[in-house]
């Protein structure tokens, strides 16, 4: 518990110092604290003995995974292009960057390993340790500054906070099953080696964030189900009597999600691209609409929000008038925040369904990918 108390206290210092003076915290406080932890552990090594895994294959596996990860990262550069590295590569500046980044990583992972080793049978403490060490690595200065911009805040959470959560969970698992050296190797290739490179892939936040989330998941699966060995060193796959059930449930969930996204079910989602229906729902929200029969579509009432197609694009607007001519039904629609109704009437065969509910913000990744690939922004239409 000694180390947990120390890290909790340092978490408070981290939040305050990061917000008040980010540069001073990053360049001075953080490396000095974790450097001091490392010196203390070396000086008291008899009391805080750190077990190093003797299974050389673990290190080989991690080196291979890390190299593949780095290769994949730079492979995107051949698709999206490269940009000059933002880091200074002069010897003095490079040495400073290495110290600033390496000392915290080594300190964090050694402390993580000690705390995990001493509390490996206490799931609550393992979760607490993981959460605390994730919180310690958050850039609170940037996070606070983005609170006024919901779109940028959501982007930052997806590209930075979620990868931190995925990685932090993996690091605790590796510390529990292997050693801190395994984790340090992974983090070195993932975070430090980039400091040495003159060019970096010019990939957007969504692709990079997805990669940093997916990579820990792959490492976890490989170590948990493929490379865990018994005490005699005989390779075995880590499975139990519930493994097949887990696989079946996971498969069913994935198939269900895919079918839902493809619109196979009665309910279907679309991502909202504009603010034309604000405040009912906004850009970045996901609207779920219900499909109706042709007869039901002919009997819609005023104030019903419908999703209809123009070309290949979906629009979600509210019905403001119902027009019936020659046994045909037409609907006049309007966005709640628009000054005038839409120019064209909506025919029944254009309607996809009626609005049921919406979920805030989770449509932004779809929007940003659409805008990235098609160079369209702030359109008055919604995309699926």
Residue 169, pLDDT score:
94
pLDDT at 240 over 60: no
Looking at 194, 223, 238, which one is the last position of a domain?
A: 238
pTM, entire model:
0.64
Read off the pLDDT of residues 290-348 as tens digits, 9 standing for 90 and up.
988 888 898 899 999 999 998 778 899 999 999 988 888 999 999 999 999 998 899 99
Lowest mean pLDDT among 13-17, 103-107, 150-154: 150-154
**Separation CA 346–CA 316 (nearest Å):** 12
Q: Percent helix, strand and coil across the chain, each rounded to 5?
A: 55, 15, 30
Do 229 and 293 have their domain in common? no
Query: 175, 156, 171, 187: which is closest to 69 by C-alpha?
Result: 187
Instruction: Examine the domain organization and report whether 280 and 365 are in the same domain.
Output: yes
C-alpha–C-alpha distance, residues 348 and 326, integer Å:
14
**Residues 282 and 354 grouped into a single domain:** yes
| SS (HEC) of 15-56 | HHHHHHCHHHHHHHHHHHHHHHHHHHHHHCCCCCCCCCCCCH
Segments forming the whole domain that contains residue 279: 267-374
Are 135 and 60 contained in the same domain?
A: yes
Asked, for residue 256, whether it belongs to a domain, the answer is no
Residue 261 lies in a domain: no
**167 lies in some domain:** yes
Q: 3-class DSSP state for residue 88?
A: coil
Greater pLDDT, 223 or 99: 99
Q: What is the CATH number of the domain that holds 273?
A: 2.10.109.10
Distance CA 328, CA 302 (A): 16
Examine the fold and report which residue of 238, 257, 288 is the final residue of a domain before the chain moves on: 238
65 in a structural domain: yes
- Is residue 383 in some structural domain? no
Closest among 362, 226, 169, 348 to 281, alpha carbons compared: 362
Would you state the pLDDT for residue 261?
61
Q: Are residues 231 and 280 in the same domain?
A: no
Q: What is the pLDDT of residue 52?
A: 60
Model confidence band, residue 211 (pLDDT cutoffs 50, 70, 90):
confident
* Segment 38-85, tens digit of pLDDT: 888 877 764 444 556 566 777 888 888 888 888 888 887 777 778 888
384 within some domain? no
Q: Verify that 310 and 197 share a domain, yes or no.
A: no
Whether residue 315 contacts residue 289, with contact meaning beta carbons closer than 8 Å, is answered with no
Q: Report the mean per-residue pLDDT for the chain.
A: 82
Q: How far, CA to CA in Å, does 50 sit from each of 30, 45, 53, 223?
A: 23, 8, 10, 21
Position 382 scores a pLDDT of: 45
Residue 222 token pair: 């490989």
Q: Mind listing the pLDDT tens digit for each residue in 128-153?
A: 999 999 999 999 998 898 888 877 88
Single out the residue of 212, 382, 231 nearest to residue 308, CA to CA.
Answer: 382
Mean pLDDT in residue range 111-116: 89
- Residue 185 to residue 62: CA distance in whole angstroms: 7
Domain membership flag for residue 200: yes
* Same domain as 233, residue 275: no
- Name which residue leads in pLDDT, 276 or 380: 276
- Number of domain units in the chain: 2
**DSSP H or E stretch at residue 200:** strand 199-201
Q: Tell me, yes or no, whether 231 and 165 share the same domain.
A: yes
Q: Of 238, 257, 287, which residue is a domain's last? A: 238
Going by C-alpha positions, the residue among 305, 307, 303, 300 that lies closest to residue 270 is 307
Mark 152-184 as b/e (b = at least 16 C-beta within 10 Å): ebbbbbbbbbebbbbbbbbbbbbbebbbbbbbb
Distant-in-sequence contacts of 25-28, Cβ < 8 A, 24+ apart: 26/100, 27/96, 27/100
Report the distance separating Cα 48 and Cα 258, nearest Å. Answer: 49
**Tens digits of residue pLDDT in 352-381:** 999 999 988 888 877 776 666 555 544 444
At 50 the pLDDT is 55
Q: Is residue 310 part of a domain?
A: yes
Clarify whether residues 46 and 147 are in a common domain.
yes
Do 28 and 121 belong together in one domain?
Answer: yes
Query: In angstroms, rounded to a whole number, what is the distance separating the alpha carbons of residues 318 and 307?
Result: 9
In this structure, the answer to whether residues 60 and 169 fall within a common structural domain is yes
Is the domain of 56 the same as that of 156? yes
Nearest residue to 198 via CA among 116, 280, 82, 313: 82
């Amino acid at each position: 518990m000694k180390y947990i108390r120390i890290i909790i206290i340092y978490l408070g210092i981290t939040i305050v110092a990061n917000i008040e003076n980010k540069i001073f915290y990053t360049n001075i406080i953080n490396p000095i604290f974790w450097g001091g932890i490392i010196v203390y552990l070396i000086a008291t090594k008899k009391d805080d003995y750190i077990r190093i895994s003797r299974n050389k294959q673990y290190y080989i596996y991690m080196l291979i995974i890390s190299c593949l990860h780095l290769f994949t990262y730079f492979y995107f550069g051949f698709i999206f292009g490269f940009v000059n590295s933002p880091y200074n590569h002069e010897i003095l500046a490079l040495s400073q960057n290495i110290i600033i980044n390496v000392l915290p990583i080594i300190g964090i992972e050694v402390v993580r390993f000690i705390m995990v080793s001493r509390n490996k049978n206490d799931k609550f403490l393992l979760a607490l340790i993981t959460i605390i060490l994730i919180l310690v690595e958050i850039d609170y200065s940037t996070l606070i500054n983005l609170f006024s911009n919901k779109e940028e805040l959501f982007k930052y959470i997806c590209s930075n906070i979620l990868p931190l959560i995925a990685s932090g969970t993996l690091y605790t698992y590796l510390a529990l099953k292997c050693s801190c050296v395994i984790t340090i190797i992974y983090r070195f290739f993932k975070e430090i080696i980039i400091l040495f490179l003159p060019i970096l892939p010019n990939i957007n936040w969504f692709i990079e964030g997805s990669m940093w989330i997916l990579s820990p998941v792959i490492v976890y699966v490989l170590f948990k189900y493929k490379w865990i060995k018994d005490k005699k060193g005989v390779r075995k796959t880590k499975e139990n009597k519930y493994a097949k059930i887990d696989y079946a449930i996971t498969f069913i969930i994935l198939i269900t999600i895919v079918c839902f996204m493809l619109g196979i079910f009665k309910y279907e989602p679309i991502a909202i691209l504009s603010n034309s229906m604000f405040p009912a729902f906004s850009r970045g929200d996901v609207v779920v609409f219900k499909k109706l029969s042709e007869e039901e579509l002919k009997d819609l009432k005023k104030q019903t929000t419908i999703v209809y197609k123009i070309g290949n694009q979906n629009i979600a607007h509210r019905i403001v008038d119902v027009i019936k001519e020659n046994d045909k039904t037409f609907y006049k629609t309007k966005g709640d925040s628009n000054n005038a109704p839409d120019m064209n009437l909506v025919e029944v065969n254009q309607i996809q369904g009626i609005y049921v509910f919406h979920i805030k913000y989770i449509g932004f990744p779809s929007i940003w990918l659409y805008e990235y690939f098609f160079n369209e922004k702030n359109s008055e239409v919604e995309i699926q």
